[in-house]
Amino acid sequence: MYLYDHYDQAMVDARVAEFRDQTRRRIEGTLSEEKFRPLRLQNGLYLQLHAYMLRVAVPYGTLSGSQMKMLGDIADKYDRGYGHFTTRQNIQYNWIKLEDTPDILADLASVEMHAIQTSGNCIRNISADQYAGATADELIDPRPYAELLRQWSSFHPEFLALPRKFKICVIASDTDRAAMRLHDIGIQIVKNEAGEIGAAFYVGGGMGRTPIIAPLVKAFVPLDELITYSEACLRVYNRYGRRDNKYKARIKILVHELGLEEYSRQVEEEFAHLQTLNIEPPLAELERIKTFFADPAYETGLSDDLDLSNPAFAAWVKNNTAAHKTPGYAIVNISLKPVKVLADGTKEAGIPGDATGEQIRIMADLAKTYSFDELRVTHTQNIVLPHVRKADLFTVWEKLVAAELAEANLDKITDIIACPGLDYCTLANARSIPVAQKIAERMADKAEEIGELKLKISGCINACGHHHAGHIGILGVDRKGLENYQLLLGGCEGADTSLGKIIGPGFDEDGIVGAVEKATQVYLANKEGEERFLDTYRRIGMNPFKEAIYG
């Protein structure tokens, strides 16, 4: 994992001191809210429905055990005992006091963390494949490049006042686990025909009001020009992105309005100019960064055999672990989407992405003992232990069971992405979480039979819950003052990214749960062979679903 050098630490410490002073001045009255608001937002502090909300950056979703432990401690010390992992691989706290915030930022700085650039019209936290460095299907580890991009984009003076926020994602495998093409810039590390490694740039993707799948702008950028090319993409956007209309200000609109060809031409022109300025960080810096991401000291000669005689453990291994590049190891996914069965047989689903301070510390401990002190946050609001010995899986699972963290439902219908929605968010039109809970409770018994089904819920058009990319997506809208839910089918992130289509008129809360259930019934009735829900939908189209749901 990357460790701060004294520049990183000095910058973050200086920011804490600066914010402490700004907060003091706000409370004393020498700073108005109008002046203070952009300053607190630059430090990740929003005002939400119930209190201030602090969003903490988790660079490319990677955390050490001590960082994770600190996140748990903050939940207990300054919040109400829990935190919410987000679709941007970050964590948010919902009940923060302004007067505590400088202390929280200081605590974060003590473990090389911060909340800088988690809000505002700047380059936000860089996201990446949560299996980076662990999976066999990647070309190289993308994290050194994500880290390089983090350093380049942190406090970049030219890009602190962009037309709108800007999200970059880096992956290095064809199996896109990070919704790469739904970012402002999606970078995939690829190999060209000559066998050289470089980066493919997809620019102008995103969700929100106008969902667009990022088109390929350049198929191959040499890795030693990654920053220069990124800078060129950003410069054209910064110059011509629409500042006159918030709804048209994202780069996707610029690329769309200029046309791919013209945007690419302008980027090439800027790129050629920037190449003469020699702005690429020195190779030595990249090499320095790479040393932090060297493989941990894996044991060799380990067996891949597992005793799967315990059915609950076997189900968890099947659903929640993934192949590791090293024999004898596995990637473990910890689901933050529990569905508890109560004594009377009824089900009680948890809040997607929420974990208590204690659970967060337990995951930190597991990382320390069993995963080379490393964790990842996924955009699906789950946690990953990237390098667990297969011989330790049963023990890890038992500890997760005891902490109510062992739901074996990865990528199943109960593993729902849900944004905070109207329960927490000032921008929301409708609640997302209770809908997720009701669906999970209704569908839990069928989840295994249904198989892979990615369900995503947003409480408003901003699409933090990625509803456009759900095999089933749900969008909360306000219909004459009442919560109403639109159903979308056929969205997908990943290598075959597609956008969901609205099936028809919306539903109330109970109606949407019933509609989802009917959609799964149509799938099960029409499924051929090993088809997933998405495959069946793509083959048979919307009509059979429409007929079943509205007929």
Partner 1 sequence: MKIITGNDLKSGAVTWWNGAAWSLHVNDAADMGDEAAAVIAAEEAARRVNGAYVIEAEQTADGIRPAHIKERIRALGPTVRLDLSLDPTATPDKVL
Binding residues vs partner 1 (CB under 8 A): 26-27, 29, 33, 47, 49-52, 80, 94-99, 351, 422-424, 426, 428, 431, 433-434, 437, 481, 483
**CA 68 to CA 70: how far, in whole Å?**
5
Taking CB under 6 A as the binding criterion, the range among 185-193, 259-267, 423-431, 535-543 that sits at the site for ligand SF4 is 423-431
Nearer to partner 1, 33 or 261 (CB): 33
97 binds, among ligand SF4, partner 1, none (CB under 5 to 8 A by kind): partner 1
Taking every pair of C-alpha atoms in the chain, what is the biggest distance, in angstroms?
71
Number of residues that bind ligand SF4 (CB under 6 A): 13
CB of 486 to partner 1, least distance (A): 18
| Residue 421 in contact with ligand SF4, rule: CB under 6 A | yes
**Which residue from 38, 31, 23, 282 is spatially nearest to 160, judged by alpha carbons?**
38
Judged by CB under 6 A, the chain residues 105 through 144 that form the site for ligand SF4 are none
Q: What element of type H or E holds 514?
A: helix 509-526
CB of 243 to ligand SF4, least distance (A): 21
459 binds, among partner 1, ligand SF4, none (CB under 5 to 8 A by kind): ligand SF4
| Residue 208 in contact with ligand SF4, rule: CB under 6 A | no
CB of 485 to ligand SF4, least distance (A): 13
* CA distances (Å), origin 541, targets 100, 503, 526, 536, 538: 53, 11, 11, 8, 5
Please name the residues in contact with 38: beta carbons below 8 A apart, sequence gap of 6 or more: 120
Nearer to partner 1, 184 or 423 (CB): 423
120 binds, among partner 1, ligand SF4, none (CB under 5 to 8 A by kind): none
51 binds, among ligand SF4, partner 1, none (CB under 5 to 8 A by kind): partner 1
Torsion over CA: 233, 235, 236, 237 (sign): positive
| Residue 419 in contact with ligand SF4, rule: CB under 6 A | yes
**CA 229 to CA 223: how far, in whole Å?**
10
Task: Please give the single-letter amino acid code of residue 311.
Answer: P
Taking CB under 6 A as the binding criterion, the range among 28-36, 99-107, 156-164, 416-424 that sits at the site for ligand SF4 is 416-424
| Residue 210 in contact with ligand SF4, rule: CB under 6 A | no
Judged by CB under 6 A, the chain residues 440 through 459 that form the site for ligand SF4 are 458-459
| Residue 395 in contact with ligand SF4, rule: CB under 6 A | no
Nearer to ligand SF4, 144 or 421 (CB): 421
**Beta pairing, strands 417-418 & 455-458:** parallel
Which SS3 state, helix, strand or coil, does residue 246 take? helix
Nearer to partner 1, 47 or 197 (CB): 47
Tell me the H-state helices in 43-170: 65-78, 101-109, 143-153
| Residue 425 in contact with ligand SF4, rule: CB under 6 A | yes
**Alpha-carbon torsion angle 334, 338, 339, 344, nearest 10:** 110
Taking CB under 6 A as the binding criterion, the range among 358-366, 418-426, 505-513, 542-550 that sits at the site for ligand SF4 is 418-426
Nearer to ligand SF4, 198 or 353 (CB): 353
| Residue 427 in contact with ligand SF4, rule: CB under 6 A | yes
Specify burial of residue 471 (Cβ count, 10 A radius: 0-12, 13-18, 19+).
buried
Task: Please give the single-letter amino acid code of residue 452.
Answer: E
Residue 478 dihedral angles phi and psi, to the nearest 5°: -100, 120
481 binds, among ligand SF4, partner 1, none (CB under 5 to 8 A by kind): partner 1
Return the structure tokens found at 42: 């630059």
96 binds, among ligand SF4, partner 1, none (CB under 5 to 8 A by kind): partner 1
Q: Which of 289, 464, 472, 534 binds ligand SF4 (CB under 6 A)?
A: 464
On whether the CB atoms of residues 469 and 500 are closer than 8 A, the answer is yes
Neighbours of 92 (CB within 10 A): 23
Which SS3 state, helix, strand or coil, does residue 340 take? strand
Nearer to ligand SF4, 376 or 467 (CB): 467
33 binds, among ligand SF4, partner 1, none (CB under 5 to 8 A by kind): partner 1
**CA 209 to CA 458: how far, in whole Å?**
12
Please name the residues in contact with 166: beta carbons below 8 A apart, sequence gap of 6 or more: 121, 122, 123, 124, 159, 184, 185, 234, 237, 251
460 binds, among ligand SF4, partner 1, none (CB under 5 to 8 A by kind): ligand SF4
* CA distances (Å), origin 221, targets 54, 190, 201, 286, 484: 36, 9, 8, 16, 45
Q: Which of 56, 58, 214, 460 binds ligand SF4 (CB under 6 A)?
A: 460
**CA 32 to CA 11: how far, in whole Å?**
26
Which residues bind to ligand SF4, rule: CB under 6 A? 419-421, 425, 427-428, 458-460, 462-465
